[in-house]
């Protein structure tokens, strides 16, 4: 008999909650604009539900990190906002006051994000106290099985429960970390399989043993999962693919390797950099240009070859902040550098010298967010000293990034600081 679980009803209840939120936000928008319900509001709701499904941002699975939940939700919201803006521009051309639009977008973003975070928290608490649990059979009294068992004990909010490990071999060390030994799987009475919901088995099992477990899982309608021999490696992103009939696991594929995510990120870069160029650079370049030329001899812009996407070189554009010198490619500049001009010191402290890099973003050399590009000679200095340093160049460099948000920006005096910068850059790519 197939068991009916809370999971059967949860997707419907989940979408019902979001539907109510969207209706509420729509009513607020109607109130602020003194309008009535129209086909535009209906399309607004349908497109959000489709966006949520497409981005899988509605999935609140077991063991979902809050960072990943926020990330997927925001990506869905940004895409949805752009889609609605394009549809309105070409088909409806509705006019809204900027303040009204800002209130509506803020309210919608806050409501959806808060709803999902609170719902995920409630589910975790519910599972931690024994609700909506999955009873696990772990087969393999070895590192893989023990490690999984310990993780399930450590995180009861994931909703998995296991009372020990099974094996096919009676000759095992039954005192590994005091993990309970449940016995040989082939001695287990068939009727007891009904007491479980899911089977996890070690990849170390023989093909015959794996086939036996898959057969039992199919017989009693259980889910079955193989624990790959990768759990002792720091690989966050696993992707399973096939070449003809041969399956393989991609162990270092990143979210931005996906064409869909690349399109999304590039679309944001173009839109954002275009707006910055029109509303800021259009007046900053002539004004700052005059001030820079009057303060010191030399060009307005400092253009330097830097290493970017897949280790290709590009011309990085900045407002010139230093007197013309021959050390720009090999020496870090700090806030007390004697080469800085008076105007340049102000530009560097305010980070306004980086503003022309939005031109780099617009033409495709850089992204708004990503690892900061370094001078070529400095890259050569660090690439042999820091593990995975060149992984920073797998994607486009950025005007700012996670490392800068965490305080690792500007002058680097210690090798450990650069290691942390690289660590943050790679973390950003893994969790985009």
Domains of the chain: which residue ranges? Answer: 6-128, 134-232, 262-430
| Distances in whole angstroms, Cα of residue 269 to Cα of each of 57, 175, 305, 359 | 22, 56, 21, 11
Sign of the C-alpha dihedral computed for residues 44, 49, 53 and 58 taken in this order:
positive
- pLDDT (tens digit per residue) in 155-196: 888 889 988 888 887 666 555 667 788 888 888 887 788 888
Q: Which residues of the chain carry a pLDDT beneath 70? A: 1-9, 11, 33, 35, 38, 40, 54-61, 63-64, 87-101, 170-177, 230-238, 244-245, 325-336, 410-413
d(CA 358, CA 396): 13
Domain 134-232 has CATH 3.30.470.30: no
pLDDT score, position 1: 37
**Kind and range of the H or E run holding 136:** strand 134-139
Residue 369 burial class via C-beta count within 10 angstroms: exposed 0-12, middle 13-18, buried 19 and up: buried
Residues above pLDDT 70, as percent of the chain: 81
167-187 as b/e, with b when 16 or more CB fall inside 10 Å?
Answer: bbeeeeeeeeeebebbeebee
pTM: 0.62
pLDDT score, position 3: 44
pLDDT score, position 407: 77
pLDDT score, position 368: 93
pLDDT score, position 358: 95
- pLDDT (tens digit per residue) in 56-70: 665 666 766 777 778
């Amino acid at each position: 008999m197939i068991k009916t679980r809370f999971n059967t009803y949860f997707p419907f209840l989940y979408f019902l909650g979001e539907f109510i939120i969207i209706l509420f936000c729509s009513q607020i928008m109607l109130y602020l604009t003194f309008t009535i319900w129209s086909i535009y509001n209906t399309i607004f709701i349908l497109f959000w539900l489709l966006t949520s499904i497409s981005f899988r941002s509605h999935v609140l699975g077991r063991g979902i990190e809050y960072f990943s939940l926020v990330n997927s939700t925001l990506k869905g919201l940004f895409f949805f906002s752009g889609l609605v803006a394009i549809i309105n521009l070409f088909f409806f051309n509705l006019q809204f006051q900027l303040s009204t639009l800002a209130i509506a977008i803020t309210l919608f973003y806050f409501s959806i994000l808060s709803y999902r975070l609170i719902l995920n928290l409630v589910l975790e608490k519910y599972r931690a106290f024994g609700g909506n649990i999955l009873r696990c059979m772990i087969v393999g009294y070895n590192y893989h099985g023990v490690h999984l068992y310990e993780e399930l004990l450590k995180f009861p909010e994931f909703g998995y429960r296991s009372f020990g490990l099974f094996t096919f071999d009676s000759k095992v060390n039954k005192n590994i970390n005091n993990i309970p030994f449940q016995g040989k799987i082939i001695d287990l009475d068939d009727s007891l399989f009904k007491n479980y919901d899911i089977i996890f088995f070690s990849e170390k099992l023989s093909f015959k043993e794996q086939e036996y477990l898959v057969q039992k899982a199919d017989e009693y309608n259980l889910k079955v999962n193989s624990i790959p021999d990768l759990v002792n490696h720091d690989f966050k992103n696993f992707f399973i693919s096939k070449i003809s009939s041969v399956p393989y696991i991609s162990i270092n594929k990143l979210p931005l390797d996906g064409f869909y995510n690349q399109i999304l990120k590039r679309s944001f870069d173009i839109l954002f950099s275009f707006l910055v160029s029109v509303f800021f650079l259009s007046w900053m370049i002539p004004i700052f240009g005059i001030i820079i030329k009057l303060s010191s001899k030399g060009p307005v812009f400092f253009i330097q070859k830097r290493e970017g996407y897949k280790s290709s070189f590009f011309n990085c554009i900045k407002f010139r902040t230093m007197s013309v010198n021959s050390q720009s490619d090999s020496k870090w500049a700090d806030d007390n550098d004697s080469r800085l001009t008076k105007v340049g010191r102000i530009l560097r402290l305010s980070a306004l010298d980086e503003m022309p890099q939005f031109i780099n973003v617009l033409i495709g050399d850089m992204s708004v967010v990503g690892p900061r590009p370094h001078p070529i000679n400095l890259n050569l200095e660090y690439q042999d000293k820091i593990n995975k340093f060149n992984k920073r160049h797998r994607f486009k460099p950025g005007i700012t990034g996670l490392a800068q948000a965490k305080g690792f920006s500007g002058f680097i005096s210690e090798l450990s600081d650069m290691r942390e910068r690289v660590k943050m850059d790679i973390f950003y790519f893994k969790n985009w």
